[in-house]
Amino acid sequence: MKLSGKKIRDDSDRVKVKHLSALSEISIQVNSVHTVEEVLEIIVDSATEELNAKKGSLMLYKTGSQELVIRNSKGVNRKSPLNGRFMLGEGIAGWVAENKQALMLENAADDERFVRRKDHDTDNPMICVPIVNKKQLKGVMCIEQTNDGAKFSHKDLEFMKILGNQAATAIDNAQLFNHLQKSYFDTISALANAVEAKDPYTLGHSERVTQYAITIAEQLGLSEKEIKTMQYASILHDVGKIGVSGNILNKVGRLNFEEYCAIKQHSVIGENIIKRVDFLQETRPIIRGHQERYDGSGYPDGLEGEEIPLLARVLAVADIFDALITDRPYRKAFYYKDAIKIIKDNSGKHLDPKIVEVFLDIFS
């Protein structure tokens, strides 16, 4: 086995200033994102870049199973040796987690706690720090091997300790934000369910529409963020019907002019319901626009063609299809093949022909 630490990394005050500058920039970045995944990616990328490391990993602690699970990594094979999982106390990361104490090793492969030592014949300098907030273990972060062959310095260790503290706070904040999002969304979803409770014919409609819309969005190659927006908008697209009389929603016969005008208000009412929920702002034009028609004959704004938001055009196809294949107060459900034909016939009229083409590729 090679001797480690052939090169000694600069440990001067200049490095300390550089690390502090990097920490300041990292703090700005993690405060600009809201998901745990984004936070972890920023932390791992920043640590490996700042310390010129080949490998980095961030493991989160699962209290129930007492496991450390790799959630983000760079240059690390998660399938080896333990499928990206360590028990508390197992390996170097497990020891750091159990003792809540940082380690800096000139060559981790020489350490009896290093689980890959049998397969490791090169220098492997390592820094491993616990991620702890308010005395609660959140996880462990490790970096290994330097690109220039140098061992890590004490200032590198201090950098990692501070970064670990930043990571702990950022992870907590992201988890809290996600919890608040879920609480808000569950509240709004309860309203959507209340709408469906007013009309037994539409029970489960929003959930089915969501599945159709997401499938189309994925086939279109939309981003993860757009698909998440699609999910929220689809579930909530009819929430405005909470403001429409149940007598109108359940009317067996044809709607008169006043009743139809009342129904047409549901997309505007829906937008107004969610306009003060910050994380749902991107769903507003979709909820408002899902009854617009490609030929401009829809409502509430008479938008035409690509004036209609893309996700609203996707939602329109999914919404109409589910309406066609389910019973309604005024008619029985269409046969599947007949519903497909109606979708085809409305391509370029009520529906975006490009979206219809993708829909037919999937469902016809």
Asked if the model's pLDDT at residue 6 lies above 90, the reply is: no
Q: In Å, how far are 71, 148, 232, 287, 349 from 168, measured between CA atoms?
A: 14, 29, 29, 37, 53
Cα angle at 205 between 199 and 264, to 5 degrees? 65
Cα angle at 294 between 279 and 347, to 5 degrees? 115
Neighbours of 65 (CB within 10 A): 11
The position carrying tokens 């992201």 is 174
pLDDT at 5: 43
The rounded percent of the chain whose pLDDT value lies above 70 is 91
Is 221 a member of any domain? yes
pLDDT tens profile 102-159: 999 988 877 777 765 555 556 789 999 999 998 899 999 999 988 888 889 999 999 9
258 lies in the same domain as 330: yes
pLDDT tens profile 235-273: 999 988 888 887 887 787 788 889 888 888 999 999 998
User: What confidence category does residue 4 fall into, taking pLDDT thresholds of 50, 70 and 90?
Assistant: very low
Q: In what helix (H) or strand (E) does residue 56 lie, and over which residues does it extend?
A: strand 53-62
278 lies in the same domain as 316: yes
**Host domain of residue 45:** 7-176
What's the mean per-residue pLDDT of the chain?
A: 87
Name the 3-class secondary structure at 355. helix
169 lies in the same domain as 77: yes
DSSP annotation of 351: B
Is 1 a member of any domain? no
Between the two ends of the chain, the Cα-to-Cα distance in Å is 62
pLDDT tens profile 300-327: 999 999 999 999 999 999 999 999 999 8
166 lies in the same domain as 224: no
50 lies in the same domain as 127: yes
Yes or no: say if 200 and 191 are a contact pair by the CB < 8 Å rule.
Answer: no
Give the CATH number, domain containing residue 337. 1.10.3210.10
219 lies in the same domain as 354: yes
Yes or no: say if 10 and 150 are a contact pair by the CB < 8 Å rule.
Answer: no
Is 57 a member of any domain? yes
Is 342 a member of any domain? yes
Q: Looking at 176, 191, 222, which one is the last position of a domain?
A: 176
219 lies in the same domain as 306: yes
Neighbours of 69 (CB within 10 A): 15
Amino acid identity, position 154: H
- What would the two tokens of residue 51 be? 């310390």
Give the CATH number, domain containing residue 61. 3.30.450.40
170 lies in the same domain as 205: no
pLDDT at 304: 96
228 lies in the same domain as 149: no
Among candidate residues 337, 144, 266, 188, the one with its CA nearest the CA of residue 345: 337
Our count of domains for the chain comes to: 2
Is 354 a member of any domain? yes
Asked if the model's pLDDT at residue 291 lies above 90, the reply is: yes
Q: In what helix (H) or strand (E) does residue 321 lie, and over which residues does it extend?
A: helix 310-324
204 lies in the same domain as 171: no
pLDDT tens profile 48-97: 999 999 999 999 999 888 899 999 999 877 555 455 788 888 889 999 99
Go through 286-304 and write b for each residue having 16 or more CB atoms within 10 A of its CB, e for each that does not: bbbbbbbbbeeebbebebe
Q: In Å, how far are 43, 142, 146, 227, 264 from 160, measured between CA atoms?
A: 10, 9, 14, 35, 57
73 lies in the same domain as 168: yes
Distance, CA of 30 to CA of 19 (rounded, Å): 16
Instruction: List the single range of 158-167, 177-186, 275-284, 334-343 with lowest mean pLDDT.
Output: 177-186
Distance, CA of 176 to CA of 352 (rounded, Å): 39
Neighbours of 161 (CB within 10 A): 15
User: What confidence category does residue 357 fall into, taking pLDDT thresholds of 50, 70 and 90?
Assistant: very high
Whole-structure pTM value: 0.64
Distance, CA of 40 to CA of 57 (rounded, Å): 9
Among candidate residues 350, 230, 349, 347, the one with its CA nearest the CA of residue 358: 347
Is 171 a member of any domain? yes
Q: Looking at 141, 176, 211, which one is the last position of a domain?
A: 176
Q: In Å, how far are 52, 69, 175, 179, 222 from 182, measured between CA atoms?
A: 38, 24, 10, 5, 23
Distance, CA of 156 to CA of 18 (rounded, Å): 11
Is 224 a member of any domain? yes
pLDDT at 60: 94
108 lies in the same domain as 213: no
> Which of 138, 151, 155, 241 is flagged as catalytic?
241
Is 97 a member of any domain? yes
Active site residue 161: no
Distance, CA of 289 to CA of 273 (rounded, Å): 15
Distance, CA of 71 to CA of 36 (rounded, Å): 9
- What would the two tokens of residue 353 be? 């022909």
